[in-house]
């Protein structure tokens, strides 16, 4: 079994414009002249820092929060594909014709509203991308509304450069952060 870590390191991760920059502070230290009893740190970060998952609450006032996400959507068989540019409806239908329910897209891509509608029509459980957002960077709202409105799990900020296209087992659970709109996560692919 081979495990591929497809997550960003949090403190050096790319940040979406306007998001909080992650910080860390040592509260207790073993490096002091008279060491504290243990090492303990405080962290501050946005709910969409690094590799993260969006919850419907991100765009819907009464949408499900991240702790209410069905984990079946983010754990299970998955297909990794490579693409670039704007993905067309025909390309996405072709990628999903084998019944794929979880898809991760490697490359600098853009998902349009029309493609998002294909994903919801085909009842996709999860889509993940390497970019800071799913949808056009300048106006991602419509794509988010379509996908999150149908409770499609969205993972953004993946790192897939070292992963070959193919079939894997995905484990990408969000932190159980009650009432929040998103969560950083540690995503892995398992190759058997």
Domains of the chain: 2-9+49-191 (3.50.30.50)
Task: State residue 44's pLDDT score.
Answer: 95
Mean pLDDT of 21-49: 96
Half-sphere exposure of 134 (CA within 13 A, CB side): 33
Residue whose tokens read 């459980």:
125
What pLDDT score does 124 carry?
A: 97
d(CA 118, CA 137): 20
Residue with tokens 């860390």, as numbered in its chain = 24
Residues 168-172 have a mean pLDDT of: 98
3-state secondary structure the chain: CEEEECCCCHHHCCCCCCCCCCEEEEEECCCCCCCCCCCEEEEECCCCCCCEEECHHHCCCCCCCHHHCCHHHCEEEEEEEECCEECCHHHHHHHHCCCCCEEEEECCEECCHHHHHHHHHCCCCEEEECCCCCCCCCCCHHHHHHHHHCCCEEEECCCCCCCCCEEEEEECCECCCCCCCEEEECCEEEEC
Per-residue CA distances from 162 to 30, 31, 50, 109 (Å) = 36, 36, 18, 17
- Residue 140 predicted with pLDDT over 90: no
- In 3D, which of 104, 107, 140 has the Cα closest to residue 119? 104
Residue 143 pLDDT: 96
46 burial level (CB within 10 Å; 0-12, 13-18, 19+): middle
Question: Which tens digit of pLDDT belongs to each residue from 51-73?
Answer: 999 999 999 999 999 999 999 99
pLDDT value at residue 136: 80
Average pLDDT over residues 78-104: 96
Give the residue, 164 or 20, on which the prediction is more confident: 164
More confident residue, 74 or 17: 74
Tell whether pTM > 0.85.
Answer: yes
16 vs 152, more confident: 152
Per cent of the chain over pLDDT 90 is: 92
What share of the chain has pLDDT > 70, as a percent? 100
Mean local confidence (pLDDT), 94-118? 96
Structure confidence at residue 163 (pLDDT): 97
């Amino acid at each position: 079994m081979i495990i591929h870590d497809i997550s960003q390191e949090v403190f050096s991760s790319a940040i979406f414009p306007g998001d909080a920059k992650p910080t860390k502070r040592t509260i207790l230290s073993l490096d002091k002249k008279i060491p504290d009893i243990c090492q303990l740190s405080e962290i501050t970060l946005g709910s969409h820092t690094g590799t993260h998952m969006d919850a419907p609450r991100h765009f819907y006032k009464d949408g499900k929060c991240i702790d209410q996400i069905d984990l079946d959507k983010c754990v299970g068989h998955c297909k990794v594909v490579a693409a670039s540019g704007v993905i067309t409806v025909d390309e996405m239908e072709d990628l999903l014709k084998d019944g794929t329910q979880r898809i991760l897209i490697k490359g600098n891509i853009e998902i349009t509203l029309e493609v998002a509608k294909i994903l919801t029509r085909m009842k996709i459980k999860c889509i993940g991308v390497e970019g800071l957002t799913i949808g056009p960077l300048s106006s991602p709202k419509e794509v988010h509304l379509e996908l999150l409105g149908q409770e499609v799990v969205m993972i953004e900020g993946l790192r897939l450069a070292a992963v070959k296209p193919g079939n894997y087992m995905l484990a990408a659970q969000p932190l159980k952060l009650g009432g929040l709109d998103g969560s950083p996560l540690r995503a892995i692919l398992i190759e058997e």
